[in-house]
Amino acid sequence: MGADVPLRVPRYRVHPNARWLWAAEGLLVAVIFGGASASAWFAVPADAGAARTIADVLPWVALPLAVALVVVQPLWRYRIHRWEITDQVVYTQVGWLTRTWRIVPVARIQTVDTTRGPVQQLLGLSTVIIRTASHAGSTDIEHLAAGTADAVAHDLALRANAVRDEVT
């Protein structure tokens, strides 16, 4: 049972530093959830019945969740996240539990941006934002080396211009 989508894997991985960024993002969620469950564990009185039961269970959920988010998620994502630019399309694959592939024809590209968040700047990463007339038909290439992202953006802008298809 089960079948994969018949799409081949895109060629390139993202920058290895992306793992640290994903770990940081996972840590943030883990800290929030862990903090909430810890405060529930301390705050809920022993005679609170159902609420106490939930408060007792929460830390046991929080711990594996934290491990999954901080350790498993970044490594898993690093295996999945890939990108490629063929002569026709920008092709990306992202996700870990849920996978998403995006195919964006270069001829339909309207704008190419690059963006770098604060953590990305610390890690020397950059994201290329590729926009078409359609939101669903747009894509981001996340967490490339800053130099690579600039080169990609520049190149895509020139090529999109050369083969531009005015139909939106």
Partner 1 sequence: MTDPDRDRPAAAPDAPPGDAGPGGHSPADPAGGGGGRREPGGYGAADPAGGDRGRCEPGGYGAADPAGGDRGRREPGGPAGVVAGAGLAGPAGAARAGGGLPEPGGPVSGGVVPGGPVLGGVVPGGQVLGGPAPIGPAPGGPVPWAAGGLRRLDARSLVSRLLSLSSLRQRWGLLVALLAGFGISGRFRLTTAVLAVVAVVAVTLGSALVEWIRFEYAVADGRLVVQRGLLQRSLTVVPLDRIRGVDVHSTAVQRLLGIAALRVDAAATGGRHDEAVLDAVSVAEAGRLRRLLLREVPSGAPPGWPAAAGGGPVAPGAADGRPAAPGAAAPGAAMPGSAVPGAAVPGVAVPGSAVPRAAMPGSAVPGAGAIPAPDGAGPDGAGGGGAGWEGAGRQGAAGGEGAGPVGGGSDGAGPDGAGWPGAGPVGAGPVGGGLGPVGAAPPDPGGADQGWASPGWAGAGWPAPAAEPVTELARLRPSWLLYAPLVGSYLLAPVAAVAALQQYLDDLHIPWFDRVAHAIGDSRFGPLEVAGLAVAALAVCAVGAVATAAVGNWGFTLARRGGSLVSERGLLSRRQVSLEVARIRGYSLAEPLSLRLVRAARLTALVTGLGGDNTRRGQLLPLGPATVARAVADKILPFTGELRPHPPAARRRRLLRATLPWLLLALVAVGLRWWWAAIPLGALTLLGVPLGLDRYRGLGHGLDDRALAVRSGSLRRHEVVLDQRGVVGWQVRQTFFQRRAGLATLTAGTGAGGFDIIDLAAADTHTVLHAVSPHQTAGLVGNQPPAEQTTDPPAAASHG
2 binds partner 1 (CB under 8 A): yes
67 binds partner 1 (CB under 8 A): no
Question: Which of these segments, 24-32, 37-45, 59-67, 154-162, binds partner 1 (CB under 8 A)?
Answer: 154-162
* Candidate residues 109, 123, 125, 143; the one interacting with partner 1 per rule CB under 8 A: 109
x-or-dash pattern for partner 1, window 132-151, by CB under 8 A? xxxxxxxx----xx-xx-xx
SS3 145: strand
Contacts of 92 (CB under 8 A, 6+ apart): 10, 82, 83, 84, 101, 102, 139, 140, 141
72 binds partner 1 (CB under 8 A): no
Q: How near is the Cβ of 140 to partner 1 at its closest, in Å?
A: 12
CB 90 within 8 A of CB 82: no
Q: Cα–Cα distance between 141 and 135 in angstroms, integer?
A: 15
Residue 52 sits at φ, ψ, to 5 deg, of: -65, -40
Helix (H), strand (E) at residue 122: helix 118-123
**DSSP state letter for 15:** -
Q: How near is the Cβ of 157 to partner 1 at its closest, in Å?
A: 3
Q: Cα–Cα distance between 163 and 157 in angstroms, integer?
A: 10
119 binds partner 1 (CB under 8 A): no
- Which residues are at the interface with partner 1 (CB under 8 A)? 1-13, 15-16, 50, 84-89, 91, 97-105, 108-117, 121, 132-139, 144-145, 147-148, 150-161, 164, 167-168
